[in-house]
A and B are shown apart, each in its own frame.
Chain A
Amino acid sequence: EAQVTQNPRYLITVTGKKLTVTCSQNMNHEYMSWYRQDPGLGLRQIYYSMNVEVTDKGDVPEGYKVSRKEKRNFPLILESPSPNQTSLYFCASSSLIKTGETQYFGPGTRLLVL
């Protein structure tokens, strides 16, 4: 089954404690991206990657890091989480040619930073 998986699905942490949210896709997609969704603001792109070792900033990259060492994985790293990073996070992937048309989203990760 074609899918995007994220782990963990729910996470409560404290300010400053480094965390990683994993994202994996099994569709051999070149394009992967991370979004955060906050009430009234919609989805905002954090980082995206067009292929292995190729990443670029989205609209809200501050406080986040990503890496793309393998095609299927695109982890999101919060080196020092802060309460304003409390949000719902989605990972997505697509073929590069049809970047918007066929964005497949993961189920989301709800993060609470205390």
Chain B
Amino acid sequence: RKEVEQDPGPFNVPEGATVAFNCTYSNSASQSFFWYRQDCRKEPKLLMSVYSSGNEDGRFTAQLNRASQYISLLIRDSKLSDSATYLCVVIGSNDYKLSFGAGTTVTVRA
């Protein structure tokens, strides 16, 4: 089983729609969680960290469910510029190894 798994999508949504997707992780001792964004095979860039209590950054909301071992990302009022691949990243508790999911592709259409 992969350490981090994501629904690859693609999620095709119209502008203004809400889209949400999850990422599951296998190591229950994982401590740190993040969402990165990657445009068309360019370098990934940090979108937001995921905190235990959940957190928002503008139209983006991230949540962590430790009991079920998944994190989620919700995008409200989707913009064309939100079209990208979203990568889930998990860091274990005992080392500095980063585990990336394969990414969820979101396409926002006009």
Contacts and interface: CB of A to CB of B under 8 A. Distances in A.
B41 A90 contact: no
A59 B45 CA distance: 21
B87 A42 contact: yes
B46 A101 contact: yes
Interface of B: 4, 6, 8, 32, 34, 36, 41-46, 49, 87, 89, 91, 95-103
Interface in A39-66: 40-45, 48, 50, 56, 58-59
Interface in A63-114: 88, 90, 96, 99-103, 105-108
Contacts, number: 64
Nearest to B89: A100
7 contacts: A42-B4, A42-B101, A45-B100, A48-B96, A56-B95, A105-B43, A107-B43
B44 A101 contact: no
A85 B30 CA distance: 29
What range describes how many residues of A lie at the interface?
Answer: 20 to 34
Contacts of A100: 32, 34, 49, 89, 91, 98
A35 B45 CA distance: 14
Contacts of B46: 101-103
B43 A90 contact: yes
A42 B98 CA distance: 12
A24 interface: no
